[in-house]
Amino acid sequence: MKDIKIIAFDADDTLWVNETYFLEVEEKFCELLKDYLPKDEVSKELFKTEIENIKIYGYGVKAYILSMIEALTRITKNKAEQGLVNKVIDLGKELLNKPVELIDGVEEVLKALYNKYILILATKGDLLDQENKLKKSGLGKYFRHVEIMSEKKKENYENLIKKINCDPKNFLMVGNSPKSDILPVIELGGNAIHIPFKTTWAHEELSDKDDVDFLKVKSISHILEFLE
């Protein structure tokens, strides 16, 4: 890590809680549809719909709301009452209005690194939603650059690294998703640290064919052991 000049942080489930809230809403969605299908089957249909829609809607709460409505129509065979649709929309608004809950140690780490490295935020999702969460978090003052990406693949990181005029060997990505935050950066010749969150969206899990060694730490505070 001696060559690191720029450190990029993921946002959701790296700096603040995110997936926990989605799981809470999914529980409520399954409860709404308990008269149609068992919980596990409702969850499977919702996940399937989300994955099918990523290429159209991207990521974030708004995409999730649309996928919930579509899954609802499939599960009820287009017979859902308007009131049920309204309840799904309300669940989406509930997600959008959740408070930003910082993960333990986040601000202390950013303060410790702020004067030693260039810090940037590199996350994906809905632009407005992520901007609002960053504002609520109070962490914006630590970041020299904010990049809200539609996807986090190798080519997206290539574009980011060019934009910030950084050599991959001088770039470090810190995040909770091996698939989005770690592997693409390693493929570029960059550096990455994985900080697992207590829950991970199934779409962000590694597949069996992914066989790459990378640094993993228990909490964000532990990255200071490799950087200071």
pLDDT in the model for residue 1: 77
In-domain check, residue 37:
yes
Given a contact cutoff of 8 angstroms between Cβ atoms, the answer to whether 195 and 16 are in contact is no
pLDDT in the model for residue 204: 60
Give the domain-ending residue among 96, 123, 156.
Answer: 96
In-domain check, residue 1:
no
Instruction: Assess whether 91 and 136 both reside in one domain.
Output: no
Question: Where are the strands (E) in the chain, listed by range?
Answer: 6-9, 118-124, 145-149, 171-175, 191-194, 215-216
pLDDT in the model for residue 195: 95
Q: What is the mean pLDDT of the chain?
A: 92
In-domain check, residue 120:
yes
pLDDT in the model for residue 211: 58
Q: How far is CA 29 from the centre of its chain?
A: 21
> Domain range for residue 33?
19-96
Number of domains observed in the structure of the chain:
2
Low-confidence ranges of the chain (pLDDT < 70): 200-211, 228
Instruction: Assess whether 140 and 221 both reside in one domain.
Output: yes
pLDDT in the model for residue 2: 84
Instruction: Assess whether 84 and 155 both reside in one domain.
Output: no
Instruction: Assess whether 116 and 164 both reside in one domain.
Output: yes
- Spatial distance between the Cα atoms of 138 and 32, rounded to a whole number of angstroms: 35
Query: What's this model's pTM, rounded to 2 decimal places?
Result: 0.90
